[in-house]
Structures are given as C-alpha cells and as structure tokens.
Amino acid sequence: MSTAQTPISSLSGPLDGGHGRPFGSPPASLVAEHRYLMEEFLLEGTAQAYAPAAGSTIGLDGQWTVEPATSAAYRTRVYVVRPEDPARFNGVVLVNWQNVTAGFDLGAPVMNDLAPGYAWVGVTAQRVAIEGQPPLTPAMPAPPGLCAWDPERYGKLHHPGDEFSYDIFTQAARTVAADRTLGPVDPLGGLQPRLLVATGESQSAMRLGSYINMVDAVEQLFDAFLLNLHWGVCPYPPNQPLFDSFAPIGHGLSAGSAAIYDRGRAPILVLNTESETLRCFPVRQRDTATYRFWEMAGTAHMGGGIVEKMKETMARDGIPSSLQLDAGNDIDWSYVRNAALEHVVAWAVSGTPPPSFPPINVENGAIVTDEVGNAAGGIRLPDLTVPTAVHSGTNAGGPVAALTGQSTPLTDEQLSELYPDGDTYLTAWNGAVDTIRAQGLILESDLDEVRARGRAVAAVRWGS
C-alpha cells in the first residue's frame, strides 16, 4: 500500500447557535464539575476510500492489503472536552469513533475520563450520523441525522459514505496530534499531547478493527487502541454495510468475521461482554505482547446502567430510537472499562501489558455454564463469584432487544444453600471485590460504588 497520506483537513469553529450544545454531549454539569471546556468544530476536506489491493485476499486473519481508491469531499463535526487548566491535562487524548448503531450519533466522556485529566475527542465518522437512516421496520421511528436535528448548527454537514470513514477518522485525529499544525483554530487550545488512544464501542469497535487491519500500518497515528464490545466482525473493504457484515455464512462465522491484525506496533485491548462471545469465538485470538482480549462472563452488551444513560440522552435531545431499550442484565461492568483504559495508557507508556484472563468457555457452539447457570470461564466479576442471580448476555426478545441480556434472581431456596444469611453473603461479596482489585480490574475510585452494590443486594434479599 502507498505510504502517501491524504491532505490535511481544515477545521473551523468553535460552533455556537442552534441548540447551543453538541448533540449527544455529556451533561454540562458534569463538564463544569471537573473544570473542563466543551467545544465543537467543523472538519472538512477530501477523504480517500480503501479497496483490496489487486490480487490480495480479504479474509479471516485480518492481514489485509489495501490500496487507496476513490476520494470525495466531506464536512463533519468533531467535539472536544478538555481541561480548562493546562496543568490538569495528563497528556493523553482519547479519540472516540462515535457510534451510530441506534441510528444517531452517540459517544461522550464519562466521569472517569475527566477526573484523571484526559482530553476527549468525539469524531462523527459515519454517514448515518449526519444524514439519518430509514426506520428498520415500518412500525419503528426514523432517527433524524444531525442536519435535521439542528439545521442551524449542522445544516452544512455532508458525508459521502462509510467507505471514507476510516480516512475521516485519521484526518480528525491529526488535528489533535502532537505534531499538528497550530493555526488560528486549535481544538486542544494549545495542549500538547504525548499519547493518542483510539476508542470505540460496538459498531465503532468493529470499524476500529477494520482501521487497524487496513490503515494503521501506514498512518501509525495512534499509540494504543481500546475496543469495547467488539463482535469478532471487521467490515470488509471497501464498504461492507452493518447488516451484511453480520450475515451468517456457516460454522459460526459471519460475512464480516475477521481477526484484528496484531502486528506488534501498538497495544490493542478488546473488552467484551458475554453478548459477543459466540460471534468472536471463531476468530478468537491469543494474547501477545501487544494484544489483550478480556471477556466478562455473565455481562451484557447493554447491561447495567447503559440503557438508562442512553434513555436520558435521548430524552434530553428529543430523539426517537428503533432500539428496544428495556432493562435486562443488571451487572454494571463500566468500572472494568475504566480500569481497562488505565491499563492501555500504562501499557503504551511503559510497555508493560495488562494481565491476561481466560475467555468464556465455549463447546459445540454453545456457552458452557457453571453449577448456578452462569457462563463458565472468562473474567469473573463479583456478581458471578458470589451469585444471587443467573445472568445472561442475551434474551429471547429478538436480536436487538437481546443486547440488554437478562438477570433471573435465584430463589430463596437456592440462596439459602449458598449463604446462611446476608452477612455471609456480604463478606463473600467484599472478598470478591478484593480479588478483582488485586487482578487490576477495578480502580480505587470505583471501589466504594461496587461495594455499595453488594450492600444493596443484601438489603433486598435478606433485609440486612
């Protein structure tokens, strides 16, 4: 593949007017609480697509050879959340590929991204975010794109198609890189980064997998990658649509099944729930000096508080959704994501990799369960080592609703066989928290909240 890079894009802003805030952004109170600034910019330029190189094969191993294909003009948005005081900046920029699976643009920093002093950059890389999408069924609403949601603020945006998303993401990241050209518009306000970490969840993690397979060897722009909720699917070039990527082709494989090419250049950590297990199993990879695969047994793609947070954002921004967002699996695994980020950053700085964990056990195309009914193997969070429910990464509500998983409480009889009383349960729960703390799966800042979850369960089940 040619080593020539596409031209540097241009940046304008910060934006104002319209609704007065970036779409899908974090609550202003959270930003202010941590003394951060939030600004939004227009990014425009010419992006290139990538196509399989002549005579090459795009396959399961992820070792793809591509070449520049067509090019097209684009105009998208980037929003930045950064410390007001440069002294609070920890030198790390998180560049997030915004997620569009719900039919609109989602992605925002959480409290644990702001407290340590990260700068966070959300890149609208895909067409659906800007142009909107038709309803998945006649009975479902059609989510509006950014142009329709706020014509004053976003009316000039334009996206030529997802085959150009990879180069758009690269060009956006260059505007916040250490060697960027400092012009009149600097999205980082003069902050000087030492690390760029690419992040993305679900469909965005899939796209980042394709980015690593196709683009990273040439651009070498990111110092590390954190892929949350990767499906074992990397859309094939030049532009394999989402639903085509998931089309079954037999033996547990999908049309877009592919490994992530671990070429040893930059650390890659994949953090998955049980929901993605069977999709990932056919292309599961071994841990290496630059690759880690973490799979949390009993957890769900949209488990814990994820659904409620999404509902809050949708209600505030007045967005209909084609997703069925009913509560299901109640394991909140967000603290593992926070720990994973810290591991990735330390890995990129020191070269010391995070711990390895066994994957979830799979036999004959099915997840193996333990004596309680929870998945065997994988990362064992306290909810599984000290169970009060059977937790699953799926449910019978259909392919979309299944993302929320389910939690089925154990009966009183089952509980009594495991724990004589609430105090016994709570002692075991706190011991399990100590175990994941020693394993590096929880940060000190999250300990109190996770211990409190055990107390809440004990109060409900034993009245103690």
Q: Is the pLDDT of residue 311 over 80?
A: no
Taking alpha carbons only, the member of 69, 210, 228 closest to residue 126 is 210
Mean pLDDT of 10-33: 92
Q: What is the pLDDT of residues 371-380, one digit of tens each?
A: 999 999 999 9
Q: What is the pLDDT of residues 247-275, one digit of tens each?
A: 999 999 999 999 999 999 999 999 999 99
Give the model's pLDDT for residue 7. Answer: 64
Q: Note the pTM of the prediction, 2 decimals.
A: 0.95
The answer to whether 193 touches 178, Cβ cutoff 8 Å, is: yes
Give the model's pLDDT for residue 2. Answer: 36
CA distances from 53 to 46, 60, 68, 390, 434 (A): 21, 16, 9, 48, 51
The answer to whether 117 touches 88, Cβ cutoff 8 Å, is: yes
Taking alpha carbons only, the member of 269, 305, 279 closest to residue 379 is 269
Give the model's pLDDT for residue 304. Answer: 76
Q: Is the pLDDT of residue 179 over 80?
A: yes
Question: In 150-223, which residue ranges form alpha helices assigned H by DSSP?
Answer: 151-154, 165-174, 203-214, 216-219
Rounded distance between C-alpha atoms, residue 216 and residue 186, angstroms: 24
Give the model's pLDDT for residue 136. Answer: 59
The answer to whether 152 touches 40, Cβ cutoff 8 Å, is: no
Rounded distance between C-alpha atoms, residue 298 and residue 413, angstroms: 22
Q: Is the pLDDT of residue 423 over 70?
A: yes
Which tokens sit at 337?
A: 């994501």
Mean pLDDT of 212-238: 97
Q: Is the pLDDT of residue 137 over 70?
A: no
Mean pLDDT of 126-150: 82
Which tokens sit at 332?
A: 């909140």
Better-scored residue on pLDDT, 394 or 133: 394
Rounded distance between C-alpha atoms, residue 29 and residue 202, angstroms: 27
What percent of the chain is predicted at pLDDT more than 70? 94
Which tokens sit at 78?
A: 């980037």
Q: Which residues contact 123 (CB under 8 A, 6 or more apart)?
A: 43, 76, 78, 95, 96, 97, 98, 168, 169, 172, 173
Q: Is the pLDDT of residue 231 over 80?
A: yes
Q: Which residues contact 262 (CB under 8 A, 6 or more apart)?
A: 268, 285, 288, 290, 291
First-residue to last-residue Cα distance in the chain: 64
User: In the structure, what pLDDT confidence band is assigned to residue 135 with cuts at 50, 70 and 90?
Assistant: low
Mean pLDDT of 160-164: 97
Rounded distance between C-alpha atoms, residue 116 and residue 342, angstroms: 10
Distance of CA 29 to the CA centre of its chain: 23
What percent of the chain is predicted at pLDDT more than 90? 83
Mean pLDDT of 428-442: 98
Rounded distance between C-alpha atoms, residue 464 and residue 456, angstroms: 9
User: In the structure, what pLDDT confidence band is assigned to residue 296 with cuts at 50, 70 and 90?
Assistant: very high
Give the model's pLDDT for residue 101. Answer: 85
Distance of CA 6 to the CA centre of its chain: 26
Give the model's pLDDT for residue 210. Answer: 98
**Which residues partner with 79 through β-bridges?**
40, 122
